Structure formats: structure tokens, C-alpha cells
Structure 1
Amino acid sequence: MKRLRFACLLLFALKMEAQTITPHYLLARSKGKLPAIAYGQGADRLGGAKMGYIDTNVVFRIIDSTTDLYNVQLSKYHTAFIEKQFLKIDNSIPVKPFYLTGSFSAKGDTTYDVVSIGMEEKLPYKSWMEINPSRIMVDIYGVQSNTNWITQLRTLKEVKDVYYEQVEDDVVRVTIQLQHKQHWGYSIGYKGKSLQVKVRRQPKSLDIRNLKIAIDAGHGGTNMGASGVTANGLEKDYTLLFAKQLQKYLKSRGVKKIVMTRTIDTTFDNKDRVVFMQQEMPDLLISLHLNSSGNKDVKGVSTYYKHIGFKPLTAAILKQMLTLDLAEFGNVGSFNFMFNAPTDFPNCLVEIAFLSNVQDEKKIMSPKFHADVAKKIYLGINNWLTQLK
């Protein structure tokens, strides 16, 4: 009788254990154009606060969903949200409690310094910039370290050192220390099953005439932007005028390589602009916009960045813009605008003035002001470069 009771208890325990370890999630892979993971469900006109873009074919564990979002388990203590359109459920993915890292390598090619992190699977990650000292940080989720060496070659020019630590049971943090104080950008994604960080080097010449500069005229086509309070002028038209004036002034100062996102009134989706810029890979990007507020008394100029490593460029441009007798609206960081999100190149969003303010609108309508803005942005870029020499 005792044996029978013990057998029943054992069978019950095994059954309960089997129920406990049954996965309560779905496995999926990322897909689409510029999928991004977000911290939460919050949203405004710019979308929710994003952790960053993610590569395609990355494995995610779906644990819950809302109308438009999947809630995904990145690691034991970390979750995120991703739009449903960017995940495809894949029942063929093997279920594993964790994955392992392999060996690392860091070497330079003709253009970049490349850090490769050996992986068993394409897993979620988050990256960010730090300053003082300048370094790139990468958290890889759902993984345990089995890395026994990191090979670093003398072909490296920007990467100073690479190391890692297991900061949680299933999170590996990689630190990439840089030689220069200024971040010049990096790209991150998978090549095969290796997670690669391609680090851009500081240009050999910091003469503005030798740099490739991208200019983005905000809005366009069906995306009209804000409108003025007296003349009803459209933001999309004014930004194109400012962009062309900046292009003209840069050319007059000897800049030969200039990339424009648009030169006519045309619809150009922001994601397509980002992809276009990632193909062009400028040394820096200036995106021109005009601000608007429900409060007609709000006015002034502001510059924006998302990544702290790109702040110095935005601060230098704002300093010059303030000499145009514009009120200061601020230097805004951690900004969730799509064109500030890429880590690939230094970028600065300039909200030149407020179309919703009568005094600012009067300036915006003036061709002389267009020329003055172009000159001040040029001087801001030049001052930033001078600080780096």
C-alpha cells in the first residue's frame, strides 16, 4: 500500500513538473523594415520610447499581446514590446532554456573596425553609447557566456579594447572602448550567427570640405507638417527652402560631397529616409524642421539628439543659431524622432523656429533668414570639428 501511495505521489510530482516546464510562450523571428523594440506600451506622436532597432530573423519569445503589440521576454528579468507586423511566429525554432556565446574577435578592415561576437542563435540585443570615456555598450539577452578568448588584431584603428561580463544569469554585456572622445557611429546586426558591431573611424581629415554631409528637408509630399498662423505657409515647403540654401552655402565653402534626402516636393517615408542614409553613410546628417505649438507665445530654436555621443554636434549648432536673435527652446536629448535613432552617423535635428508664433513665422518667411540659418549651421559644424582637432 505504501509503495502504491509513493508511486502515485511520484507520478503526480512528475506530472506537475512537466506542467511547470511546459513553455508558456510562442517563438517568433523578427522581420520587415527597421523593426524596433520598445520599453513599454506608451505612445505619442513619435511612438513609444524605443530601446533601438533590431536585425531581422532574431528569435523572440512572445508572452503576451495587445491589439497592435507583442510583449516579448528578452531574458529572465527583461521584457519589451514590438509591433506585431515585425514578428513572424515560427514553430520550427528549437526550444532551449538558454544559449551560449562563443569566441570574440576584433579587427579592422579598409573602412571599419569590426567586433564579432560568436553566438549559437540570433538573439535580442540592445546597444547604447557612453562618454567620458567614450565606449559602445551592448547587452545580449537570453545568453550565457562560454567565451574563453577575445582576439584583437593590430589592424584596429578606433577600437581600443573589448571585454565582457555576465551581468545577469542570462545577460552578457559587451564593452567596446574607443580611441577618440567623439563617437562617429556604429552599425550593429548579425552576420550569420555572429553579432557584429561595425565601428566607424574618425575621418582622417576634420576639414569640413572633406566630409560627406547629408541634409534632410523634413516632411514633403503628402506629409505637410505644420502650417503658419498668418500666411498659412507649409512646413514641407519651408524646410526645402532651408535645405537648398544650406546645400548652396556648403558648396560655396568648398564642401563637395553633399547628399539630399529630397530636392523637390515629394513624399519620402521616414523609414525609407533612414535606409537611404544607411546606404549613403554620410559623416554627419542635418535634418531641418520647423516647430509648432498650441501656445502661440512659445517660440525659439532647438536642436535634438537621441544618443549622448552625438550631443556635441547639436550643442555647437544651437550655440550658433542663438546668435540669430532667436529664443532658446533648448538642446533636447533622448529624443524619439526616427531620424535621430540611427547610431550609424552623427546626426542633428534642427527645429529652426515656431511656425505657430507670429514673430518666428515672420523670420521663417524671409529669404535673408534662410541664408543666415545656413551660415550658422555651417559655423556650428565647423566649431564642432575644431573642438575635435
Structure 2
Amino acid sequence: MWSALFFLSLIRIEDISYFKLGEFIRLSIEISQKSDFSFSAEKNAVKVIFKEPLVFEKNNYARKKKVMPFKILVKGAEMTFIFEENFSVARYFVLPFPYKIIIDVSFKMSDIEDILTEGEKRRRPKIILDAGHGGKDPGTTHFNIREKDIALSFVRELADIIRKDRKFELILTRDKDEFLKLEERSGIANAVECDVFISLHVNYTKSSAVKGFEIFYFSKKFSKYALRVAEKENGVKLKEGDIVLFDLFSSYKEESSKKLAEFLKENLKDIGRVNRVEGAPFYVLAGTFCPSVLIELGFINNHEDRRKLISKSFRKAIAEKIYEGVKNFITYQLSYQNSYL
């Protein structure tokens, strides 16, 4: 007879999903509980080795009737993903609540010809705009005004300005009312190897007197207020003591993301109050390998902010200031390189 302790020590694979874009695949492995593991990658195989035995019901995935671009092998405490071809890069990070291991795999192979012609191509920097929420997730709602709609309106306004300037390559995570998982949004950023990632949102607080912009970058150091905002946008309750569960390969990007936030603040303060520039554990920013920020464009339950948020002229003014901040940041980033602006 199996003991209860044995079953408690088992790691159950709750779900495996993936996102594919071009030569990039992001794997998401959701497991039943926090667990220590080791990670290795070689040629066309990625291996995750846990300290406890795995429970994996393969038939659940067969019933999805979806052909995955990899094979899954499970033996004891080891889980191996075998791809059809060799990859060039494989890296991972962890998201808590629910506990997920996110693995990014790139099959893009750089060769001598690519390196030699890169200067001639004079690659335009890539900007990704992310309209928060969408589809079945309306975000914050007040007086029938939905965060997902405001965010998309601002993204479209900003996208028009960027396209007209023609200095940057632009990618939108969504250009219509559709639902995307948070890890899919940052997955798009990594898939296209973007230079800047900006996620636009709208805030809400108990006091209708609070107004203004707020700009956040990813950090495991944060105030109680920043944690509450992150919980709202993540859609889960976070415990301060458990944030150490975030295991990010890209933690070195925190400083450049903070610098981007500061450039945006300098421009946005010309047309409104910027309440704070802070770090917080936002899921949508976790795992991006480029400077990334989340902007709260205003408080939907503040009368003045709400009036501005639905004003096309004000949206355009904000979009112009955000774009100026992004341009200034990229110029700063390129100050030690040959500028291609």
C-alpha cells in the first residue's frame, strides 16, 4: 500500500502548452506545487529534472488532438522535450501562482553571412506595444468603460505615430479584442527579439481622488502599493515572502527597464502628474529579454482621468509623449554604438 507521504511528494504535471512564432517556441509547464529542479539543453533536447517523481497523464494531451512540434518523454523525475531540429538558444524562468516553468527555445541560426550583412541592413529597432487584457478579460471596469478598450485605443494611437515616423519596426501583441495569456505577450517580445516592450493599462483605487500616471518595471523589490497593482494586473494574489519563487534568467534587464521608465516619466510629466516609477513583480514583464515597462495611463474611477482617457485628443498627446520617451531612451542605449536612427 502506498503511503500518503509518497503521494504528497509526487509532482503532477497539470498542463503543458506552447506558443510558436516563426523560429521561436515558448513552452509552459504548469506543475502542482513548487519544486526544485535542474535544467539542461543540448542540440535538440531540453531536459527538466525534478527531485520528486512525476505524474504525467499523456492521454490528456493526446485528447487535445493537437500536434505539438516536439515529443515529450517522462521517466521517473525527468521530463525531456525533443524538437525536430537543433536549436540555437534555450533558456528558462519560473512564474509562481500557479507554479509554471517557462522555457524559451529559438531555432534562429546566425551565420557569417548574417553578421557581415547586419551593418548593411541597418536594422531598425523593434518596439512592441501590448494592449493590456482583452477578450474574456475586460480588466478594470467603471461606468461601463473597460480597461481593455482604453488600452487598445491608446496602442492604436501610439502605433499610428510610430508608423508615420518610420524609424522603428512595430509589433502589436494584439490589434483587436482578443485574449492572450500574460506569458504569451512576453513570448512575442522574445520571439521577435524586440528592443523595447511597453504594456499599457488603466488603474483603479478605492479613493476617487487619486489620479495620474504610474510607470512600473519588473523587480523582486517593491512597495506594498506596487505589489497590489501587480496583483490586479496579474489576476492572482501574491504573498510578499513567496516572490523569491520568481527565478528569472533576465534579471540583468532590470536596470535598463528602470532607465526606460525614467525617460518616459520625463516626457509624461509635461502633460500630467507621474505618481511613481517603481519595480514590481508583473507577470507580463517577467521573462522579457529587453527593456520592458508597464504604464498605468490613469485612474478610471477619477473623474478627471476618466474624462481624459476617453478623449481622442488627450490620447494623442499622451501617445506623442510616450513615443518621445522611447526615442530618447533608444538614442541613449545607442550612445556607444553607431546610431541607426
Find out whether 1:59 has 2:49 as its counterpart. yes
Structure 1: stretches of 5+ with no match in the other structure: 1-23, 42-52, 64-87, 94-111, 117-121, 127-186, 192-202
1:262 aligned to 158, 174, 178, which one? 174
How big is the shift at 1:89? 7.6
Aligned to 1:349: 294
In structure 2, runs of 5+ residues without a counterpart are 1-7, 18-26, 54-72, 79-87, 95-101, 107-117, 219-250, 336-341
Please say if residues 54 and 189 of structure 1, whose CA atoms lie closer than 8 Å, have aligned partners that are also in contact: no
- 1:313–1:346 Cα contact (<8 Å) kept: yes
The change in CA–CA distance for 1:287 and 1:360 in structure 2 (over 3 A counts) is same
Structure 1 residue 278: Cα displacement: 2.5
Provide the rounded CA distance (Å) in 1 between the counterparts of 2:149 and 2:9.
49
Q: Is 1:313 matched with 2:227?
A: no
Within the alignment, does 1:224 sit opposite 2:218 as a pair?
Answer: no
**Conserved 8 A contact 2:16-2:30:** no
In the alignment, which of 149, 155, 161 is matched to residue 243 of structure 1? 155
For the 8 Å contact 1:28–1:61, the answer to whether it is kept is no
Q: Would the aligned equivalents of 1:300 and 1:360 in 2 still touch at CA under 8 Å?
A: yes
RMSD over equivalenced CA pairs, Å = 4.3
Using the TM superposition, give the Cα deviation of residue 246 of structure 1 relative to its aligned residue in structure 2, in angstroms: 0.3
Partner AA of 1:281 in structure 2: E
Q: CA deviation at 1:28?
A: 8.1
CA contact (8 A) 1:25 1:61 kept: no
- Which residue identity lines up with residue 315 of structure 2 in the other structure? H
CA distance in 2, matches of 1:273, 1:89: 28
Q: How does 1:1-389 map to 2 (within 5 A)?
A: 32=17, 33-35=27-29, 57-62=47-52, 90-91=75-76, 210-228=124-142, 231-306=143-218, 307=251, 308-309=254-255, 310-326=257-273, 328-333=274-279, 335-388=280-333, 389=335
Q: Relative contact order, CA 8 A, sep 6+: which one is greater?
A: 2
Looking at structure 2, the residues matched to 384 and 265 of structure 1 have their Cα atoms a distance apart, in angstroms, of 30
Describe the shift of the 1:27–1:345 C-alpha distance in structure 2 as closer, same or farther (beyond 3 A): same
Higher CA-based Rg: 1
User: What is the CA distance between 1:26 and its match in structure 2?
Assistant: 5.2
Please say if residues 215 and 265 of structure 2, whose CA atoms lie closer than 8 Å, have aligned partners that are also in contact.
yes
Name the counterpart of 1:6. Answer: none
Aligned length in residues: 234
Q: Which residue of structure 2 lines up, in the alignment, with residue 14 of structure 1? A: none
Q: Secondary structure at the residue paired with 1:349?
A: strand
2: distance between equivalents of 1:220 and 1:25? 38
Query: Which one has a larger percent strand, Structure 1 or Structure 2?
Result: 1
Q: Give 1:266's aligned amino acid.
A: E
State the shift of 1:31 in Å: 5.4
Amino acid at match of 1:315: E
Higher helix share: 2
Separation of aligned partners in 1, 2:103 and 2:76: 27
Secondary structure of the structure 2 residue equivalent to 1:214: strand
Residues 209-235 of structure 1: per-residue CA shift (max 9 Å, x gap): 92111111111111101123xx43111
Q: State the percentage of identical aligned residues.
A: 26
TM-score normalised over the length of structure 2: 0.57
Contact residue 286 and residue 347 of structure 1 kept, 8 A: yes
CA change 1:31–1:234 in 2 (3 A) is: closer
**Is this contact kept in 2: 1:213–1:257, CA < 8 A?**
yes
